[in-house]
Structure 1
């Protein structure tokens, strides 16, 4: 860790030529194959991402202004490196590039060839290459935009002076626009408000709006939002959202009291919005518009208690990618799946307050009370008749239960961050693949939108069995139970996100039994030694910033393992980003889970941080498969933000 601009290479080592870019194909180049030689004269930024990863989606948004500002000197290449099996397919990658409006070239790297060449160990990872083809910096996680901008400006100035900078258009070729009534819809609910009884409200995420349909889902009645990406309150035609997610209707008496009928998750804007169907208006009711990131200087006004939970006036507390919502009858609050920091929050519309409700902000699958449970990018919340909430925890491919009265979390199906598959049978053996939604069926069983398997699954809490209701769907992201009416039996209305439509699915008595098996995320293992292992995270403070030590050490390291017994001593979280742990005997493999954070503010090293300085939180979660051997290295080096080399 140092408070200086990145050196050309760590430890004064010779400059390293950037490895070649190898993959299955190029996207957004108009069919042109590229090499690093073709990009000589440009600053090149590699973004190793995968579309299941919320942190990767945050980085896509962080890069948009940088991409625009330096468009004549900078080429961004998204290197798509999959985690889940579904993410390896050509169609899925193409859909993701379109869904998230990726406006730079993408290298499809399904076999992680380029990932390995650049020694990436986590999503997202960024690497910067100078106009002469040398690797000058690498960093993991999100929050790097300010430091990246400074580094890019330094490289532009240096190579303009040397005559090695080439300004002008890059290789990006925009795809042909695709039109349709829905574009990558995400969530659906049934309305009950007067004048809207029975109508469907669909989160039309790709069109940055909500679409209200008649009860059949066949006729579009109105659109809430202009359809342009942005952030604006106002009437339905003028309001703007950014990739909005789930919405929930408030009870009538509460809606009348607060002046809006619906609470909507404005995901990419990190806001909750209030929608008044009667007045035809949208207002901001929670969030500041800035992303909440975990750090000593972030959200200080909202921090309460020794446990570090957050609460306060809803408009004053930062949020992080709210994805779905559900109303809790026992507490009369709106529970929020805060996918961006792996927690569940609670919003009180009447009081205008919001609080961190359950989850530690560590990513993983751990059951327990609200201050013990771990979530992983929770993407679906649904009420159950007995008062609990059903939770679709996407990154652990898990189906879970949350008790709103106590905050207690239990797991129905799922085992961990790297375990998934398409397997029916007893819950302990069953596997999903990145589920995004769930709903309770009339008989008390639970239907699951098993998104990356393209299926609707059913879990029966009474028997503990999982079966398959339907398959062959295009990324189902949500579902709604539709009651019997006009001679049509009760069925499911499924949001087929990648097919841009709503689809009816029968609730069959007999389930298919799929046995395609359990899988694990396949990544090259890192070889380490036995006994003691030094975990050393490198963080070079960007030029013009200094470590934010106003509240103590601004760095933090959390280390755990799968299985937990792999670490005999040194696990847990504490200040500092350099720690030696002791590995237990008798293990030859496992996974190390490492979270590192560092906080820095604008200001020069050695000086005081200005009163109103902008502060930045750098953070990353690594899940590193390891192989242990007596001849393995005794040090594991990771870059939170380091120099190339």
Structure 2
């Protein structure tokens, strides 16, 4: 996905007038409402996004150079169309716009009105509007910068010649800056004596994400005793004052014996720099451990059966591409660092002694699928912890799930199991039986000494507790259950046990603070129901229904058909009874379904993927060519109506 199709392939052949921008309100405009008429004379990019989505965050960064280069002729408008219920909260959206330093107008579209008017079906989707107000192109997913750049150049030249291009500033109005000790902190770990010395008790190392630095907080959780990073967004190694991070998240303190061998004490997931960084406690020096700064996309070597290879990426970690590492953990069982690689929906590992970096688990396909390391699907892995046995627990945010990687049983081939969670579009706030329990986009997790696991249930503003089946004091068997420890928090993104064992420390991200809460003697049982992502429904006809997915390999690539059809389509539904024939996984991007006339409505879950390798059409793919895996997921609500559409056409690359 490093290249896009030629410009002529992404431009619309028919002139379609752009729809008006309708929503609840605007951000970054100084309170002004913006219309398409206000934008006439500019090239406009509508960025349909939602702030939970890592691919959407990647697109924000991809667009920044484009916005800077064409600052007087291009206006980006972020159309925020929420996936989760919490994302429809205007205060949460305002915080996200501040957190991600978005420097363009944002339309708040909580009812997905503008989303529907532009026929968006996936996050992210980009729509380009020309200076006369006509749609020039529509693209889904990330990785379109090259094509967009060419298209904008073309539109600027065309409309400047016609006299319909107006140069000058756009409607963006920067917000007033706010001074805080912490700014959107992400993760925290307790400081041990090896790092903090004799007076380390009660101190915490914190990823001060919004200030692009790492800080040490005193026991009062307010006083900064040390910091690493200049506070300016960027990338630079060096001493504590001059080093630079960009939105760091996860932290891991290494055991003293390991730190002594490798020469550094702390590992930092430098998320937006797509790197792992190290901190040397004695000198304060920050160094780079892994990552070349180039975002890793969904590319991987493939086996003859077409599965993504799980295994080594080599022993030169500075030349390996990573993608938004969100959390890191030293695994005692595996004797290596485990990495939640949110951007590729995988778990990576890093052997500090041999410098080997590897894909540890996950195919790179986004979804909820348990099983062996080379079969499991994850969705934006965001939080890690290990239990007393050495198993790694995962907060898998986009599937709103709690999962466990059975590292203790087999460190070389761990199996994944889901304890809470249903799928990409299922969430809620429900305690009780884990099979029926629901979370909403959790980002943090910690294992407790009694075998239970706490979850920072971020979008529910709660701390939740999973406990497996166990024996009570009277000898009876207590079934597994989920309960609520605390609620009313403002986007908690991490939770850990304080040194006293009776207090929890919560990283309350949107309150810009760390807080202590007492472990309750009794836990709450909450049931506010299970939900699914709500999007406008498409009317379809019952009976035979044709599904077709288009795919165009980018220029310089060709379909990898060396071992058969390199495309695959997975189709399911909620409820399952909606599809009577045609569900399941098979090769190809076309499928005939049969929809049940007795089910009035539901959701079609569609995952399409294709593999392409570098090479020219008509030529053989070189043996060592780079290969790329493309995937798009759709959850399309449908209502069954006689006489409605009998087919659905989607595009894997989103190129119209």
Q: Structure 2 matches for 1:378-393, cutoff 5 A?
A: 378-393=381-396
Q: Structure 2 matches for 1:132-147, cutoff 5 A?
A: 132-147=132-147
Q: Residue 400 of structure 2 is aligned with which of 391, 397, 401?
A: 397
TM-superposed deviation, 1:632? 3.9
Whether 1:292 aligns to 2:292 is no
- Which sections of structure 1, spanning at least 5 residues, go unmatched? none
Aligned partners of 1:39 and 1:554: how far apart in 2?
Answer: 45
**Alignment partner, residue 268 of structure 1:** 272
Q: Residue 209 of structure 1 is aligned with which of 203, 206, 213?
A: 213
Deviations along 1:361-400, one digit per CA (max 9) or x if unpaired, are: 2222222221222211111101111211221111111112
Q: Residue 363 of structure 2 is aligned with which of 354, 360, 365?
A: 360
Task: Tell me the matched-pair count.
Answer: 629
In structure 2, do the counterparts of structure 1 residues 203 and 302 end up closer, same or farther at CA, with 3 Å as the change threshold?
farther
In structure 2, do the counterparts of structure 1 residues 22 and 307 end up closer, same or farther at CA, with 3 Å as the change threshold?
closer
Deviations along 1:49-102, one digit per CA (max 9) or x if unpaired, are: 000111111111111111111111100000000111111111001000001111
SS at match of 1:6: helix
**Alignment partner, residue 248 of structure 1:** 252
Q: Residue 522 of structure 1 is aligned with which of 514, 534, 546?
A: 534
SS at match of 1:116: helix
Aligned partners of 2:238 and 2:581: how far apart in 1?
Answer: 57
Whether 1:427 aligns to 2:423 is no
**Alignment partner, residue 326 of structure 1:** 329
**Alignment partner, residue 486 of structure 2:** 470
Contact 1:448 1:456 in 2 (8 A): yes
**Alignment partner, residue 472 of structure 2:** none
In structure 2, do the counterparts of structure 1 residues 27 and 321 end up closer, same or farther at CA, with 3 Å as the change threshold?
same
Aligned partners of 1:367 and 1:547: how far apart in 2?
Answer: 32
**Alignment partner, residue 161 of structure 2:** 161
Aligned partners of 1:92 and 1:559: how far apart in 2?
Answer: 33
TM-superposed deviation, 1:191? 2.2
Q: Structure 2 matches for 1:23-422, cutoff 5 A?
A: 23-196=23-196, 197-198=200-201, 199-295=203-299, 307-311=308-312, 312-313=314-315, 314-405=317-408, 406=410, 407-422=414-429
> Aligned-residue CA RMSD in angstroms?
3.0
Q: TM-score, normalising length from structure 1?
A: 0.90
Higher relative contact order (CA 8 A, sep 6+): 1
TM-superposed deviation, 1:580? 2.5
TM-superposed deviation, 1:517? 1.7
SS at match of 1:92: helix
In structure 2, do the counterparts of structure 1 residues 596 and 529 end up closer, same or farther at CA, with 3 Å as the change threshold?
farther
**Alignment partner, residue 591 of structure 1:** 604
Q: Structure 2 matches for 1:564-643, cutoff 5 A?
A: 566=579, 568-569=581-582, 571-572=584-585, 574=587, 578-583=589-594, 588=599, 589-596=602-609, 619-628=631-640, 631-641=643-653
Whether 1:491 aligns to 2:503 is yes
TM-superposed deviation, 1:218? 3.4
Contact 2:6 2:147 in 1 (8 A): no
**Alignment partner, residue 460 of structure 2:** 453
In structure 2, do the counterparts of structure 1 residues 593 and 551 end up closer, same or farther at CA, with 3 Å as the change threshold?
closer
SS at match of 2:294: coil
**Alignment partner, residue 475 of structure 2:** none
SS at match of 2:427: strand
Q: TM-score, normalising length from structure 2?
A: 0.89
Deviations along 1:559-580, one digit per CA (max 9) or x if unpaired, are: 2323567374474364x6x423
Aligned partners of 2:565 and 2:319: how far apart in 1?
Answer: 23
Aligned partners of 1:233 and 1:496: how far apart in 2?
Answer: 29
